[in-house]
Structure 1
């Protein structure tokens, strides 16, 4: 800070050397009037100073003419410097530095006069002053200050596209992460009364379709109970309390429902939401090896990565059940995630066929194959969203499906195949195209429906 109160900037030698701009003009009563000399009074009989009223002589009294020496009338005193408005002579660099303050009307009267006089002669400074004045006008806009409603999503998309998460969600857990988020968004939008809307859950048992009525809240309770199998496998809390809790998904759901003294309400959302977040977080921090950890469903077991894919499929299917109950649109998963769900079902089909064969519900094996050897297969052609080609081994769960040994071909839409695997449509009405061994085709379609459960 310099002695005259101005901040000095490094390298601005010309600014520091500029003549000090005088302060604001003082008031009239602030002057020291005693220091201003007054004109002397004229001697008696002398001519009155200019502006005075001469005395009138009476007729009875005459004054003889006398010669009066000439008196010099003093000139009025000069006005003090504080009363004069002067335009300081400032160098170009100082005037240019004052343009911002001038645009904000923050200059003193002398500085303002100096800047405005300079602008009449300096075109670059005049252009800069015009831009600064326009900028100041933007600070006082009358427009709406509300944020663009799409700003948040655009900022998040930009951030996620430029910097990946420090602990990213594993690829094999991404479908579960996406489907739980979509279902949570649906639940957030429905009203209190819609949590009690009736929902009919459907699946296949052996050769027939069965169903169970519940509510929207009951469906979320069902998902919470079955997801607890994954929580237990990861060492997290089981919502059924662990210990003697059953492993079969249907038994777990029945116990969860019966443990409630009254029908579930929207209060079930937060526990389910917290549980799904904890599953994803734990899987993300656990590393690669946890993907192969076994999750028991009682009659069968799946590695954790397949179990999370299975739960993503159930979340989507039951999300659609809820959306139908409350008359809400609900789309299919992304093509990449749907493809992985179809692939899981295709990998489970040989074991499902073998189970039905043991129960006398499927035709006998016709080829004796060793482990890993090719046997008869059915070409499963999935069209459209998430589509692809799979070859389903018919004669042994350990066999490998092969195009060379395909005895039949079935064509299905991707979403329709998933609805069949969920037990939402019957095997008879599912196939869009069939060619080849009719028994083999029937066995594959019914085995797909048998993958469904409560």
Structure 2
């Protein structure tokens, strides 16, 4: 049986535990000593020297071959002890406090009694922890070394947290699109657009330029995790649009398909790091200069932008591209609905939305708009209108908007204006206009 205590245990004081020959459920037979080796006249005649050497005396023994001839002490007499007594001696044996005969009796017993052997192993490990020079603090790098060793022996599928799967899925779908396109299509023109204040803004780019944009903005997440930033070290705090322009201007040639590998490696590294990090990483803050999101929502936002820009690329090269799965689409819509109250308050501070009508205390129900999203990923949300700290309430709903899920996401992406959104509207027109405009204002480059 191997020693499980590690190198720090004193080998001189670590008792040896012989491996049990077999498990014994009934210990009654263990109280009787094993029978002696059968002796016959023929065996005694054939092996006189063997008997003499083993006994160390007698007429068949050669002089000088007994234990005393080597300068050692005679073997201790092994007492005949019951199972109960032997079991009670295990603690003293683990502490090396038994006499020589008791030690032999215990170790002989351990070769035949599996339960006592297991108990002896646990006691020996406990004794090893009593050494004063043993550090009980775990090595902080132990986890990474164990994982590295395990993956090196047999590559395993890393379990991806459920809140990371939308980003994992959308980056994989976009990468599949990029694998299918030819060299010339990387330079196909892509028209990006988003909503600022009360107007749609447009920007020309290429397929490769869009991948560079995703690479630069995803760098906000990797930097928050302590990973490499594609813009390099010492970069000042920049907005996503500023990071994109800085990345594009820093290239020594126009963006091309060479950006695909670093973008895909960055997404793989991000997913792998978050999967290994544990539960607490979901609440890590990712700062976008003007606002911040917990990592859980930030990766959902990055999945949303990956899908939107993949759709921009697909439209530019006439490539069929489907929306996300219903569950992932629902998460993206839910994130936008949760961000709407703060976006509405920000527009109100700049005079772009109507003033609040009925302020209420934080955490209490207030005047609300019922947002009904239809289709895959749809659901019902109640958006507080007068204060971002209020709670949306169906009892105080003053307006209702019904939209298709994909069309609502196109509005949030700034690809359609509030006036273009084909929404079913009922109730307070001013509240409806403010909420649709706030949804469009969530967009950016």
Q: TM-score, normalised by structure 2?
A: 0.65
Is residue 269 from structure 1 mapped to residue 260 from structure 2 by the alignment?
yes
1:106-147 deviation per Cα after TM superposition (whole angstroms, max 9, x unaligned): xxxxxxxxxxxxxxxxxxxxxxxxxxxxxxxxxxxxxxxxxx
* 1:344 alignment partner, one of 330, 335, 343: 335
Name the counterpart of 2:200. 209
* 1:307 alignment partner, one of 298, 302, 323: 298
Name the counterpart of 2:320. 329
Secondary structure, aligned partner of 1:404: strand
1:219-274 deviation per Cα after TM superposition (whole angstroms, max 9, x unaligned): 00000000000000101000001313433000000000000122111000000000
* 2:167 alignment partner, one of 176, 199, 204: 176
Residues 395 and 168 of structure 1: CA distance in aligned 2, closer, same or farther (over 3 Å): same
Q: Distance in 1 between matches of 2:279 and 2:421?
A: 38
Q: Distance in 1 between matches of 2:233 and 2:345?
A: 32
Name the counterpart of 1:42. none
C-alpha displacement of 1:367 = 1.1
The 5 A counterparts of 1:51-450 are 167-450=158-441
Name the counterpart of 1:128. none
Question: Does structure 2 conserve the Cα–Cα contact (< 8 Å) formed by 1:229 and 1:247?
Answer: no
- State the Cα RMSD in Å: 1.1
Q: Distance in 2 between matches of 1:196 and 1:385?
A: 33
Q: Distance in 2 between matches of 1:378 and 1:287?
A: 37
Q: Which runs of 4+ in 1 moved over 6 A?
A: none
Secondary structure, aligned partner of 2:365: coil
Secondary structure, aligned partner of 1:237: coil
Give the number of equivalent residue pairs: 291
Q: Distance in 1 between matches of 2:233 and 2:292?
A: 18
Q: Distance in 2 between matches of 1:180 and 1:202?
A: 21
Secondary structure, aligned partner of 1:402: strand
Secondary structure, aligned partner of 2:376: coil
Question: Does structure 2 conserve the Cα–Cα contact (< 8 Å) formed by 1:245 and 1:252?
Answer: no
C-alpha displacement of 1:371 = 1.1
Q: Distance in 2 between matches of 1:405 and 1:428?
A: 25
Q: Distance in 2 between matches of 1:247 and 1:180?
A: 23
Q: Distance in 2 between matches of 1:167 and 1:186?
A: 24
Q: Distance in 2 between matches of 1:278 and 1:245?
A: 23
Q: Distance in 1 between matches of 2:359 and 2:309?
A: 40
The 5 A counterparts of 1:36-47 are none
Name the counterpart of 2:82. none
C-alpha displacement of 1:172 = 0.4
Unaligned runs of 5+ in 1: 1-164
Q: Distance in 2 between matches of 1:414 and 1:294?
A: 28
Secondary structure, aligned partner of 1:229: helix
Q: Distance in 2 between matches of 1:291 and 1:362?
A: 33
Q: Distance in 2 between matches of 1:442 and 1:432?
A: 11
Q: Distance in 1 between matches of 2:411 and 2:424?
A: 15
Secondary structure, aligned partner of 1:405: strand
Which structure's CA Rg is the greater one? 1
Unaligned runs of 5+ in 2: 1-155
Question: Does structure 2 conserve the Cα–Cα contact (< 8 Å) formed by 1:247 and 1:296?
Answer: no
Secondary structure, aligned partner of 1:202: strand
